[in-house]
Amino acid sequence: LTSAFTIRSEAVNKGGPAEKRAQLPISDEATNGAAEVLELTGTATTTTTTTTVTTMADDGSAQDESVKVVKFNYMWTINNFSFCREEMGEVLKSSTFSAGASDKLKWCLRINPKGLDEESRDYLSLYLLLVQCAKSEVRAKFKFSILNAKREETKAMESQRAYRFVQGKDWGFKKFIRRDFLLDESNGLLPDDRLSIFCEVSVVAETVNVTGQTSAQQFKLCKSLMNPNPMGQQLRLSKILEGGGDQSHPWGSAGWGLSSTSVGTTRCLVPYYGLKQCPSAIQVPPCRLSEDLSALFESKQFSDCTLVATCKSNGPQTFHVHKAILAARSRVFHAMFEHNMTESERNEVAIDDVEPDVLREMLCFMYTGSSPCVDQMAQHLIAAADKYHLDRLKVMCEQALCAALTAENACVTLVLADLYSAEQLRTHAINYINVNATEVMNSEGWKDLVKEHPTLLAEVFKALATQQTPPVVLAAPPKKRIKHCPY
């Protein structure tokens, strides 16, 4: 028995520095039944997809920008899993794998069979580790699942976005699956005491620009990152040339997730050359309603009411407005002017709970339907939009706050969503907290949430438990099978 263990220890050392293990050696080779030892094996497969973006260069030629996404799978098999003796915090690592022989990125999986720390001691923790990287960083999504006795994927958990990996950095799930659920033979996750972990990785590789001439009538204007959600649209060009008829061009767009520290803007310009106008064409000028109403508000002409906003620093500020427009846009102002209230008789309305700059932005929206400063004022505008029943402005504020979510402001945003019944923002904030729980729990906003908002805290924990905890199965404790060494 001693000799068998010694041989396997040498096999590990030949493959590189061995992780600290309890007693049992680890090998990527078969045991041939020589002894009951922990055995790890793995295989990888690779596919590569490329998404192309066609743009126009300065000289009028077509320019293709290709974003390559490399997808590969890795199957990690651990035989005799119930004999694993690693204690809480101790690690098992797979052999390294990559997308191919020429790929400079080297990855491995690591598990903590009895959890990473005290909080996860009843769970198996599972992580994807970037072992070697020639670049400063890479971005990748990953999905873990366990193959049952029928070789079907079960208990899958997937990253919500592409995470930033640097060499030596890992991402994964501290509470991947409960140990009692995994070890229960009735669940069929350890056939023949074999744990099979299936990992899918999608790496955003380099961007390549290709310039050349093209006569294609269909242009690819879709920039895709990880798992885009396509939306189909039609661009219809009315009659261009006599006898030519109308032309329809299929268009596509896609959405993708950005990390909390990234902001991206994609603009698309499609130039057409050599177009001629039909002699019989009548060109309709663009609608200027928004611009005209904005000019009406700024000029103060024909105004019949004054809004007075108090300002702590500069005193009250007045805004000359038109009752008809305010009443048409807001049910609150409509009721105020309709029922012969004091404000209606004096043609003056005191606004005590909205700062002047916020009130001006709200009035800009009521006159024009747009809010140029919504990103900067979203936290204050959402309160005004909720009070005066400006539903579209409220949703615009939700969108701006959702795009600005970070670990520092996620809890504050959740409280704001709860205060003003912003359900979409509430859902996004809870999801963000769940995905970035470690960073969020170190923020000042989390401390305030724990202290001042226990109901919201309970809702966050409920969502987190629903996402990560497998269903409870009442069954007898698993029985270990004891095999005797033939020597």
Q: What is the pLDDT of residue 60?
A: 47
Give the pair of three-digit tokens for residue 328.
């048409």
State the distance between the two ends of the chain, measured CA to CA, in whole angstroms.
Answer: 7
Strand order in the sheet with 123-132: 92-93, 106-112, 123-132, 170-178
Query: Cα(53)–Cα(367) distance, rounded to whole angstroms?
Result: 38
Q: What is the pLDDT of residue 45?
A: 65
State how far the alpha carbon of 419 is from the alpha carbons of 334, 383, 386, in Å. Answer: 24, 9, 10
Give the pair of three-digit tokens for residue 263.
């902001």
Q: What is the pLDDT of residue 465?
A: 81
Query: Cα(413)–Cα(111) distance, rounded to whole angstroms?
Result: 34
- Segment 436-453, tens digit of pLDDT: 988 999 999 999 999 999
Query: Cα(18)–Cα(92) distance, rounded to whole angstroms?
Result: 10
Residues of the chain where predicted confidence (pLDDT) is lower than 70: 1-67, 206-280, 311-314, 340-344, 467-487
Q: What is the pLDDT of residue 87?
A: 87
CB neighbour list of residue 43: distance below 8 Å, 6 or more residues apart:
74, 75
- Domains parsed from the chain with CATH numbers: 2-207 (2.60.210.10), 289-388 (3.30.710.10), 405-481 (1.25.40.420)
